[in-house]
Amino acid sequence: AVSMVLFTSDLRVHDHPPLRAALRATDAVVPLFVLDTGIDATGFAVPNRRAFLADCLTDLDAALRRRGGRLVVRQGEVVAEVCRVAAEAGAGEVHVSAGVTAYARRREERLRRALESAGRRLVVHDAVTTVVPPGVLTPAASDHFAVFTPYFRHWSQHRPRDVLGAPRVVRVPDGVGSADLPARRDVAGVSEGLAAGGETAGRRRMAAWLRDGIARYAGTHDDLGADATSRLSAHLHFGTVSPTELVRRARAADGAGAGAEAFVRQLAWRDFHHQVLAARPHAATADYRTRHDRWRTGPRAEADIEAWREGRTGYPLVDAAMRQLRHEGWMHNRARMVAASFLAKTLYVDWRTGARHFLDLLVDGDVADNQLNWQWVAGTGTDTRPNRVLNPLAQARRYDPDGTYVRRWLPGSAGADGGGPRPVVGLAEALDRFRQARGPARPAV
Ligand code: FAD
């Protein structure tokens, strides 16, 4: 008998429940990845993530080959391709990780129906892409937590499942055709400083982080110049690192103490956003809490948006952040907060415009984490202080006091008070505009 594993955001062989279950069920397994033309159509498959994905698939194929197998890659509409491969291989079951986006859930439903009508079975696995599956922790009166602190209290008490080792042997049946693996060098328009993808790189980074980085995290995670965060976000997004394994190993890391605690808390933020999106898929585009904002539009707003995108707002920290994004396809969390607040509150431009730009470039660009963090910063989301506005000059003094970060990305800039373009707007004027424009909050969607 043959079974199949459809890989999605879980591009690894370690700690992979669907692969483990498929190998337990049958003696031959088809590990499949579909380059889904449906995703291309959404505009989500941008160069930085396509390049990182190519690395991930190459590395996954190599890992499977070392175990006697290989990765089958197909290109086309995902449901049709899965059905076609299942028919070619004579697979009775298809194993897949549960997704949270509207797209992933529709895919799951369509797959289930299509496979069942051909007498096959879809098996969906939880706790692969998050530590705690969405829907497991809920408050008394709702299907999801809308506030982080109580969520985190429950999350901390939840015992993650056991970590699974990588299988030793993966036998893939003959005669299942595969397209060529995509190659990073064939992707045009990739950020110059983009990190390498793949499980090998991810596991290496995880090990180095647990050994050398995590212990100092509590004191340095907001220090822009120190650049001392894990940089595991893209690996978590593509699933080349397992969040469950990461949490378990962080908690067990020798002498990491407060650093491990602070780091694990950030991983809980990731689960938090995923459970919000799973319960409210529309929050990817609609305000989570409608504040009836009348965001600025028109030629002046367009010019401000362009200045923001290109890193010439005249506020060095914002401009440095936007240049890091373009150069690396990644941005420090503190810089993301300042740059996003600047667009949504100081320029008072619709958060969707900024979120789209981030998604166009971020290698870790994730529907749940990007859209909901943007909503959090814009004050339309789950933030409990929706009308707080970050001052980009005060933020620079606090988190980049000696200007290391600004100089790294804006060489030649004299720091907070010299050189560079003129500010696109004065902060006092912007604050007035924001306070006058924003009406009172309305209940959640
Ligand atoms: P670390 O500080 O080492 O944290 C470890 C991990 O915890 C991260 O890899 C990430 O998986 C998780 N994490 C940390 N902070 C958050 C958070 N606020 N929300 C959710 N997860 C978190 N993160 C993404 O993974 N994808 C995105 O598209 C994304 N967009 C963002 C947009 C905005 C406007 C903001 C303010 C934040 C966004 N984040 C996003 C969250 C955060 O900025 C990144 O996860 C973090 O900077 C990645 O760097 P790191 O891996 O070194 O993080």
Instruction: Measure 138 CA to ligand 1 centroid, in angstroms.
Output: 23
State the CB neighbour count (10 A cutoff) for residue 46: 18
| Residue 43 confidence (pLDDT) | 87
Is 438 a residue whose pLDDT tops 60?
Answer: yes
Domain(s) of CATH 3.40.50.620: residues in the chain: 2-126
User: Closest Cα partner for 277 from 351, 369, 357?
Assistant: 369
110-134 residue pLDDT tens: 999 999 999 999 999 999 999 999 9
- For the annotated binding site for FAD, the residues are 217, 229-233, 263, 364-366
- Could you tell me the sign of the dihedral formed by the alpha carbons of 19, 22, 23, 28, in that order? negative
Buried b vs exposed e over 291-322: b needs ≥16 C-beta within 10 Å?
A: bebeebeeeebeebbebbbebbbebbbbbbbb
pLDDT at 443 over 70: no
What ipTM, to 2 d.p.?
A: 0.99
**Residue among 242, 244, 369 whose CB has most ligand 1 atoms within 8 A, to mutate:** 369
Convert the pLDDT of each residue in 202-218 to its tens digit.
999 999 999 999 999 99
Say whether pLDDT at 9 is over 60: yes
Class of domain 299-437: mainly alpha
Nearest CA residue ID for atom 50, ligand 1? 231
Does the domain at 2-126 match CATH 3.40.50.620? Answer given as: yes
CB neighbours of residue 102 within 10 Å: 17
Q: Ligand 1 centre and the CA of 94: distance in Å?
A: 31
Q: Where in the chain is the domain with CATH 1.10.579.10?
A: 299-437
CATH of span 130-160+199-279: 1.25.40.80
Whole-number pLDDT of residue 360: 98
Q: State if residue 274 touches ligand 1 by the CB under 6 angstroms criterion.
A: no
User: Ligand 1 in contact with 267 (CB < 6 A)?
Assistant: yes
The pLDDT value recorded for residue 4 is 98
pLDDT for the residue 413: 73
**Which residues of the chain form CATH 1.25.40.80?**
130-160+199-279
**Does residue 383's CB lie within 6 angstroms of at least one atom of ligand 1?**
no
Name the band, by pLDDT with cuts 50, 70 and 90, for residue 416. Answer: very low
pLDDT digits (tens, 9 = 90+) for 139-178: 999 999 999 999 999 999 999 999 999 999 999 999 999 9
Closest by alpha carbon to 115, among 4, 17, 189?
Answer: 4
334 lines ligand 1 (CB under 6 A): no
> What is the position in ligand 1's atom list of the atom closest to the CA of 337?
36
Flag the least confident range among 20-29, 57-66, 341-350, 409-418: 409-418
